[in-house]
Amino acid sequence: MTESGTFVWPPVPIPTERLMLRASEARDRAAFVELFASPEVGTYIGDTRPRDELERALPEVPGRRPGCFVVARDGTMIGMITLDPRGAERRGHVRPEAGEAELGYLFLPEAWGHGYAFEACAAALDWFTSTCPGEPVVLSTQSANDRAMRLAAKLGFTEVEWFEEYGAEQWFGVRPPATPAG
């Protein structure tokens, strides 16, 4: 984030071994509808919306905002990654002034189980580290969300605290800024 708290956006597309991280485009709209309508994706998020409502309500280019990466495989969107400031009203902070960058990840069910989310999140975190050196990244997920918990651990997030929010137990973790070598 810049000193005013925003990213320079959109970034140059980021390639990984199998994927591409880029800003959202109009051709991704159907995948956004799929993602937000999927009961599997929404299991631990509790925000699934009817497909027809999404078709009407989503903008022409959903997710076109700073910090929202579309993850594409062979040009087609398979998921999204967000790095948003964590609101001061939420529980779970590592800074008194709040607003820490919070990592979020949502992938289409057919893209689970291939290591894509890990590959894409690792690249997004590398991008974040080079864009905002010295900044921690936080993450919260329902503790029952095994896949999200395993991914957080693989990405190097460590536990800060557990708490109750949205009627469920939440795990809150941090990925401390990398310390300079030597």
Ligand X SMILES: CC(C)(COP(=O)(O)OP(=O)(O)OC[C@H]1O[C@@H](n2cnc3c(N)ncnc32)[C@H](O)[C@@H]1OP(=O)(O)O)[C@@H](O)C(=O)NCCC(=O)NCCS
**Tokens read off for 177:** 């800024």
Contact flags string 152-181 toward ligand X, x per CB under 6 A:
--x---------------------------
Nearest Cα to 5, choosing from 74, 79, 98? Answer: 98
DSSP 90: S
Of 60 and 117, the one with the shorter C-beta distance to ligand X is 117
Amino acid at residue number 23: A
What one-character DSSP code corresponds to residue 63?
A: T
Residue 65 interacting with ligand X (CB under 6 A): no
Nearest-approach distance from CB 1 to ligand X, in angstroms: 21
| Contact indicator for 107, 118 with CB cutoff of 8 Å | no
Question: Which helix (H) or strand (E) element contains residue 149?
Answer: helix 146-154
Q: Is 118 helix (H, G, I), strand (E, B) or coil?
A: helix
The one among 21, 71, 72, 151 contacting ligand X by CB under 6 A: 151
Q: Is 90 in the site for ligand X (CB under 6 A)?
A: no
Binding ligand X by CB under 6 A: which of 32, 36, 69, 105?
Answer: 105
Q: Which secondary-structure segment (H or E) carries 160?
A: strand 158-165
Q: How far is the CB of 179 from ligand X (least distance, A)?
A: 25
| Angstrom distance (rounded) from CA 47 to CA 132 | 30
Nearest-CA neighbor of 43 among 109, 92, 90?
109
Site string for ligand X, 8-47 (x = CB under 6 A): ---------------------------------x--xx--
**Segment interacting with ligand X (CB under 6 A) among 21-29, 55-63, 85-93, 100-108:** 100-108
Site string for ligand X, 107-136 (x = CB under 6 A): x----xxxxxxx------------------
Chain residues in the site for ligand X (CB under 6 A): 41, 44-45, 104-107, 112-118, 141, 145, 147-148, 151, 154
